Chain A
Amino acid sequence: MSGSAAADLEASASSADEYLVEARGIVKRFGAFTANDHVDLGVRPGEIHALLGENGAGKSTLVKMIYGSLQPTEGRFFWKGAPTVITDPASARRLGVGMVFQHFSLFEALTVAENIALALPGPLDMKALTTRIRDLSLDYGLPLEPRATVADLSVGERQRIEIVRCLIQEPKLLIMDEPTAVLTPQEADQLFLTLERLAGEGCAVLYISHRLEEVKRLCHAATILRHGKVVARVDPRAETAASLARLMVGADVHAIRPKHARIAGPTRLHIERLDLPATGPFSVALRQVTLELRAGEILGIAGVAGNGQSEFFDAVSGERTVERDGAVVIDGHACGHLGVSERRALGAAFVPEERLGHGAVPAFSLSENVVLTRHATCEDSGRSRGGFLDFGRSRSTAERVSEAFDVRKGKPDPEARSLSGGNLQKFVVGRELDRRPTLLVVNQPTWGVDAGAAALIRQALVDLAADGSAVLMISQDLDEIFEIADRIAVISRGRLSPAYDAHVMTLEKIGLLMGGAHGGSDRVEEAARLREADGHAH
């Protein structure tokens, strides 16, 4: 152990001084779980370095240690060749490390400038800061209005605040954690230009992603993690997306079998001018949402997070009811005022975005979680007419679901929270598919799920539609939508665009719709651009 560490030291000694930051033999354990297992990583100045891996591979743990919010169990960091202990985020910032987190840390009630001022040490001249923010953001192509209140800004604009907040401190290393997950394709393009410019000025960028196409396009080097270990260091420009995926997953990811013909069956879900008021200042109101979903098809709803997806899901599932009965029609039954149990009884099934705490009770075993969505219809839940529960029956249901959907668990009937994200998602989706629903509404079916589980879930959705059910899939993942949806609509600021056939949809068109180009006559210019994009597609 010490021998190999010494050898490592020797081997890297020659190149050590050219790295801006280097990790050597980093180990991080959380109890019995090893999140990082002797990880070595070196990032040079001016390099955009990708950190690739599936969910749970240890990417976030590693960068949190570089940013000082976690401490390694073993191993050391070197900054410009000198051994360095990064005790906390403040000392990381003093070194010149900036980080843009996946989940923003902004005060929604404050302005852009105030949010940025909060991150800066010492007394400030707000007027000078405001000018500086405006200049810097324009200079880097990330225009920001310093006096705007954060609550009024889109997710893309909020990310700009985070980036500008780092840039204002003139970082030498910028860490970006899955930055494009919340952006429209056009916003992502703009971000890439900014990052390339930063790299050109000598700033190193550590770029975490599992989107292989953008890594290929943007990054100069890539370190690939699998189960906490470095499995490869490659030049992504010389690889294919498939070869990168193979390295990440450790096996070939099998392609989805397409279903053969689209069956134009009866209407399973009809939503007619659905309006839903916002519940609070940060919730999105739905306006005049209309769609029609037929048996045998998968309708994908694309959109940047926070544009009304969860409100829409609640209204369709019946967790929030609406006044007008005809606004939501399931299988011919007007059910605007019906609750989620009554809608399930009509043959509908729902999978929410959040697995823990919404789709499943974290502290309950899988068998108890079976009861959650099945008690109202009594099917195999173990509930008798008298209101008694037979957990033996729900256990056998849980077992059947686990077997059919390859849910891997440590013991026969574990608590939901002890399962990995992918396995729990397979269970939550499987629990609903096991009911053979005629209508399935699913929000972010593969969010935070490893590639293997994601492929299995998408295949199951395709098979369900092929068997004659209707599937409504809300997803932020455009690759997923293009992979399995028959028709695609886009939700933006609580409004839903018309649904277009998937084969005439392009990334550019979706991007325009995400920006709200279907809004009405006041957006003539955007509508014209959209028509143009339409023309390109045909």
Chain B
Amino acid sequence: MRIELEKRAERSKTLAWASPVIAVLATMVTGGLIFAALGKPPLAALWVFFVEPFASLWSLEELVVKATPLILIGVGLSVAYRANVWNIGAEGQLTAGALLGSTVPILFNAWNTPATLLAMLVLGAIGGMLWALIPAVLKIKAGANEILVSLMLVYVAQLLLDWLVRGPWRDPHGYNFPKSVAFENWQTMPTIGEGRLNLGIFIAVLIAVVLAVVMRRTIKGYEVRVMGEAPRAGRFAGFSADRMVLFSFLLSGGLAGLAGVIEVASTVGQLQPNISPGYGFTAIIVAFLGRLDPVGVVIAALMLAASYLGGEAAQIALGISDKAARVFQGVLLFWVLACDTLILYRPRLVRGPTAEAAR
């Protein structure tokens, strides 16, 4: 008796949507086993991890705040990955966007009008694009592997940020802490209500909706999908692979940069050595869990945001390391990719001898 995978003639539409659900359930089971192995009551731990983030108004608000950058980066990455362009360096583009956007409040601190915020957002997107342009151009001109180049540039951007906030951009009145001046009024995102909820989520959802329409209903979205599925056919259709690499990197990099500047202009409120708990990497999981579809990404971003909150809650309530959240995210990505096999293959129990047994 053995299990054979059998290729389906067509991809299964049902499983295309069921696969992330199965993946989430499998992650919970795996998570329960990990908790049990750590000597924690599995059910209670799962409750803290997966249910409590949705249980109070405060945590729901915080969920949306954490989902905002994940949505922005995730939709950009989902388009790039659809085109088979592997931008792994969104974290670096986020940092670059935050840096360029912050030049406005740091270097022109006196300017404080609605246009200030607009300039910050635009510069943030441009910063991400410029950072993403490096792996794109190296891939087109020199055939360099975009995965390695974009990933390595993450650390370059983070070290640049570190140097700036400890050096030239350090707040002169900041008691030598490695921080820039605090951003105020129109140097920050307008908030909604009393908490940390801000305008960013509306920008994120609006962009997700626009990209959903672009991907489904326009020739550009069609081009992205053709180039990802069958580049040879894309060339036959008259599309250019190089232009697609450039487009994918500019779009995903620009959105990561925008997420970066929104983050420093809202929850962080200034530049400091750590401005993101790895949103740019988590967004890779978001993109895959959301089926590389902008609408799916919005849902997946809320899920992954919950894992950040759950990780914090588990740290407080159960004394589990905050690394637990990253472990969960990794387990989730594993199950998402594993379950995707079911879309193209059907598992089947086979009786009878295997090739080895017959020998």
What residues on B are CB-neighbors of A383 within 8 Å?
219
Is A387's CB under 8 angstroms from B220's CB? yes
Cα distance A389–B223 in the bound complex, in angstroms: 11
**In this assembly, does B237 line the interface, its C-beta being within 8 Å of a C-beta of chain A?**
yes
Is B232's CB under 8 angstroms from A31's CB? no
Is B230's CB under 8 angstroms from A361's CB? yes
Contact of B232 among A85, A318, A357, A375 (CB under 8 A): A357
Is B219's CB under 8 angstroms from A387's CB? yes
Residues A79-101 near B (CB distance < 8 A): 85, 87-88
What residues on B are CB-neighbors of A352 within 8 Å?
236
Cα distance A71–B352 in the bound complex, in angstroms: 11
Residue on A nearest B346 in the bound complex, by CB? A31
Given the interface pairs A350-B236, A357-B232, the reply to whether A372 lies near B226 with Cβ below 8 Å is yes
Chain A interface helix/strand/loop/mixed:
loop
Smallest CB separation, A250 vs chain B (Å): 24
Cα distance A88–B217 in the bound complex, in angstroms: 50
What residues on A are CB-neighbors of B7 within 8 Å?
31
Is A373's CB under 8 angstroms from B232's CB? no
Cα distance A349–B209 in the bound complex, in angstroms: 36
What range describes how many residues of A lie at the interface?
35 or more
Given the interface pairs A319-B235, A357-B230, A373-B236, the reply to whether A363 lies near B346 with Cβ below 8 Å is no
Residue on B nearest A355 in the bound complex, by CB? B233
**In this assembly, does B238 line the interface, its C-beta being within 8 Å of a C-beta of chain A?**
yes
Smallest CB separation, B190 vs chain A (Å): 33
Smallest CB separation, B336 vs chain A (Å): 19
Cα distance A358–B238 in the bound complex, in angstroms: 12
Is A388's CB under 8 angstroms from B230's CB? no
Is B358's CB under 8 angstroms from A362's CB? no
Residues B219-235 near A (CB distance < 8 A): 219-220, 222, 225-226, 229-230, 232-233, 235
Is A319's CB under 8 angstroms from B219's CB? no
Is A387's CB under 8 angstroms from B218's CB? yes
Cα distance A416–B251 in the bound complex, in angstroms: 30
What residues on B are CB-neighbors of A85 within 8 Å?
358-359
What range describes how many residues of B lie at the interface?
20 to 34
What residues on A are CB-neighbors of B233 within 8 Å?
357-361, 372
Residue on A nearest B238 in the bound complex, by CB? A341
Smallest CB separation, B168 vs chain A (Å): 45
Is B359's CB under 8 angstroms from A363's CB? no
**In this assembly, does A317 line the interface, its C-beta being within 8 Å of a C-beta of chain B?**
yes
Residues B54-97 near A (CB distance < 8 A): none
Cα distance A418–B344 in the bound complex, in angstroms: 12
**In this assembly, does A107 line the interface, its C-beta being within 8 Å of a C-beta of chain B?**
no
Contact of B11 among A341, A357, A363, A388 (CB under 8 A): A363
Residue on B nearest A418 in the bound complex, by CB? B9
Residue on A nearest B4 in the bound complex, by CB? A31
Residue on A nearest B344 in the bound complex, by CB? A363
What residues on A are CB-neighbors of B11 within 8 Å?
363, 415
Give me 26 A-to-B residue pairs in the complex whose CB atoms sit less than 8 angstroms apart, sorted by A's number.
A88-B355, A319-B236, A340-B237, A354-B232, A357-B230, A357-B233, A358-B232, A358-B233, A361-B225, A363-B11, A363-B229, A372-B237, A376-B237, A383-B219, A387-B219, A388-B217, A388-B219, A389-B218, A389-B219, A389-B222, A415-B9, A415-B10, A417-B9, A417-B10, A418-B9, A418-B10
Please report B residues at the A interface, Cβ cutoff 8 Å.
6-7, 9-11, 217-220, 222, 225-226, 229-230, 232-233, 235-238, 346, 348, 355, 358-359
